[in-house]
């Protein structure tokens, strides 16, 4: 209720401040009997970890995960899986000069207004570090989905206004921008480096595609699949917009162009276009589910900025430290995790009803 828990049958509860002893997550509701090892989770955490490339923060957090419960003899037990990541290489002293200042673009003021107290060391609970716990949980969800033939692929569609012209899955992990288009990637990297050199930062758009989902996931009305996805994705710190399918482009479309024409191929319903993003009436169609997230430029920049301090006075600050000039590439595994959590949860919910009701009829 205080916002640290998400999900229905598959629920995750996270904890931790960026400069506290540890962060972590409890994943409850994972079916018993699934093979799971720390390595499955570590692999995903490594994709989010700082210091991966020249265009991310040089901070070197190891983010080693420990499984504290829920797994025995290599198998999930049906009991809550607790994943712990100790915080290392914390440089809290870096933040001390700004402890009484509300940094622009950060949550310093709103946390102070809400709670009356605030962990000023690196953003505390509002830090992007919190997303490591999501990635850890998402790794479990991805494993569950993979067993059912569902795969999740994320990439940087646009950075600093530069948009990928094609989607080549093989290219994504080859370039530090995590863009699916080598040429666009090169331009993106240049734009990021220019921004950093200028003491500034840039934003972008990430796209996540889920393939292999059965038709029938999601529920009418408030738990439409796109509503659950929007909730999940918009809960990631830097996101300011979410789209499915044609997204904001629908404003300029007519119904005759928007409506995806259906056809049957090899006994399966398909569509010629995918303006609906794989979801109709809140329920998955069986086609690719396509979502996009608008990711703002990071708030921590080294340019001088005007700020207000706790006494209400205006001051000029300069934020030191080692920050990401663009968060989009490192946000990809986080967004994939959120999509995976929603889909795995929806799969479990759907199975409950399918088994207890009539079988789906497909043309």
DSSP 292-341: EEEEPPPS--SS-EEEEETTS-EEEE---S---S--HHHHHHHHHHHHHH
Q: Given the complex with a second copy, which of 39 and 255 has the nearer CB atom?
A: 255
Site residues (CB under 8 A) for a second copy, limited to 121-160: 121, 124-126, 130, 144, 148, 158-160
Structure tokens at 195: 């921004």
Cα separation, 14 vs 232, whole angstroms: 14
Does position 5 interact with a second copy (CB under 8 A)? The reply is yes
- Which residue bears the tokens 């040089």? 58
Backbone angles phi, psi at 290, to 5 degrees: -125, 120
**How many residues touch a second copy (CB under 8 A)?**
171
Shortest distance, CB of residue 127 to a second copy, whole angstroms? 10
Does position 285 interact with a second copy (CB under 8 A)? The reply is yes
Q: Which of 280, 331, 334, 343 binds a second copy (CB under 8 A)?
A: 280
Shortest distance, CB of residue 53 to a second copy, whole angstroms? 19
Site residues (CB under 8 A) for a second copy, limited to 331-360: 347-360
Q: Given the complex with a second copy, which of 57 and 76 has the nearer CB atom?
A: 76
The answer to whether the beta carbons of residues 184 and 163 sit under 8 Å apart is: yes
Q: Which of 310, 318, 320, 321 binds a second copy (CB under 8 A)?
A: 310
Site residues (CB under 8 A) for a second copy, limited to 12-41: 13-17, 20-24, 26, 28-29, 31-34
Helix/strand/coil for 55: coil
Site residues (CB under 8 A) for a second copy, limited to 105-124: 105-107, 109-119, 121, 124
DSSP for residue 174: G
Q: Give the per-residue contact string, 192-231, with a second copy (x = CB under 8 A; - = no).
A: ---x--x-xxxxxx---------xx-xxxxxxx-xxxxxx
Helix/strand/coil for 11: strand
Span of 47-55, 168-176, 178-186, 281-289 interacting with a second copy by CB under 8 A: 281-289
Q: Given the complex with a second copy, which of 45 and 84 has the nearer CB atom?
A: 84
The H or E element that residue 257 is part of is: helix 255-258
Q: Which of 37, 165, 253, 320 binds a second copy (CB under 8 A)?
A: 253
Q: Which of 79, 151, 190, 211 binds a second copy (CB under 8 A)?
A: 79
Nearest CA to 133 among 28, 26, 20? 26
Q: Which of 53, 59, 212, 247 binds a second copy (CB under 8 A)?
A: 247
Cα separation, 177 vs 169, whole angstroms: 13
Does position 316 interact with a second copy (CB under 8 A)? The reply is no
The CB density around residue 320, as the number of other CB atoms within 10 Å, is: 13
Cα angle for residues 48, 53, 55 (degrees, 5° grid): 100
**Cα-Cα end-to-end distance for the chain:** 42
């Amino acid at each position: 209720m205080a916002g640290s828990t998400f999900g229905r049958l598959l629920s995750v509860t996270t904890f931790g401040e960026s400069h506290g002893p540890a962060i972590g997550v409890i994943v409850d509701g994972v079916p018993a009997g699934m093979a799971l090892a720390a390595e499955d989770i570590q692999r995903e955490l490594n994709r989010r970890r700082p210091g991966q490339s020249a265009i991310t923060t040089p901070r070197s957090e190891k983010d080693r995960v420990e499984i504290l419960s829920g797994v025995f003899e290599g198998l999930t037990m049906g009991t809550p899986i607790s994943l712990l990541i100790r915080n290392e290489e914390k440089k809290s002293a870096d933040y001390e000069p700004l402890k009484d200042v509300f940094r622009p673009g950060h949550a310093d003021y709103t946390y102070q207004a809400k709670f009356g107290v605030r962990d000023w060391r690196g953003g505390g609970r509002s830090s992007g570090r919190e997303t490591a716990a999501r990635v850890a949980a998402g790794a479990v969800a991805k494993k569950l989905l993979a067993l059912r033939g569902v795969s999740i692929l994320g990439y940087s569609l646009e950075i600093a206004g530069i948009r990928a012209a094609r989607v080549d899955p093989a290219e994504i992990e080859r370039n530090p921008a995590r863009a699916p288009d080598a040429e666009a990637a090169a331009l993106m990297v240049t734009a990021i480096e220019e921004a950093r050199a200028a003491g500034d930062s840039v934003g972008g758009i990430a796209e996540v595609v889920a393939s292999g989902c059965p038709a029938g996931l999601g529920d009418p009305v408030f738990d439409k699949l796109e509503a659950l996805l929007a909730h999940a994705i918009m809960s990631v710190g830097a996101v300011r917009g979410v789209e499915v399918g044609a997204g904001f482009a629908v404003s300029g479309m007519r119904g005759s162009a928007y409506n995806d024409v259906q056809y049957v191929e090899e006994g399966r319903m398909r569509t010629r276009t995918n303006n609906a993003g794989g979801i109709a009436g809140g329920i998955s169609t069986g086609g690719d589910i396509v979502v996009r997230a608008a990711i703002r430029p990071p708030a921590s920049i080294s340019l001088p900025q005007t700020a207000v301090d706790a006494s209400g006075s205006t001051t000029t600050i300069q934020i030191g430290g080692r920050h990401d000039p663009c968060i989009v590439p490192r946000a990809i595994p986080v967004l994939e995790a959120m999509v995976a959590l929603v889909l795995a949860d929806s799969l479990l919910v759907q199975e409950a009803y399918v088994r207890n009701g009539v079988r789906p009829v497909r043309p």
